[in-house]
Amino acid sequence: MPSIWYMIAAVAIGGIITVLLRALPFAILKPLRKSKFVKALGQWMPAGLLVILAVVMLSGEISARPDKLWVVAVASAVTVVTHLFLGRRALLSIFAGTTVYIVLLNFF
């Protein structure tokens, strides 16, 4: 069994590395806050990630249930319409689309 000082050193080194790795992004981001590139990323990245997530989810559901393509289309349309016409509330639109999807999938 390793000595107590060896274990204390291992935990201390692990703690220091953890703190440094968590602080590093903030230290790097501080000078970049005024960058046009970072501002553009902040504007476009959330939408891009949502598009990627939607494509992956929809392709998975379509390939899993090709006979229920209309269910995916209706639920997606409800999600988009709810999001656009009810104040762009993400939680509300996700809830509405998911509810419609579950109801249509189970009862039709």
Domains of the chain by residue range: 1-33, 36-107
pLDDT digits 0-9 by tens, 38-85: 888 888 887 888 889 889 988 998 899 899 999 999 999 999 999 899
Looking at the chain, the whole-number percentage of residues with pLDDT higher than 70 is 100
**According to the model, what pLDDT value does residue 6 have?**
94
Q: Is the pLDDT of residue 4 over 90?
A: yes
| Three-state secondary structure readout of the chain | CCCHHHHHHHHHHHHHHHHHHHHHHHHHHHHHCCCHHHHHHHHHHHHHHHHHHHHHHHHHHHHHCHHHHHHHHHHHHHHHHHHHHCCCCHHHHHHHHHHHHHHHHHHC
Task: Give the per-residue pLDDT at 30.
Answer: 78
Predicted TM-score of the model (pTM): 0.58
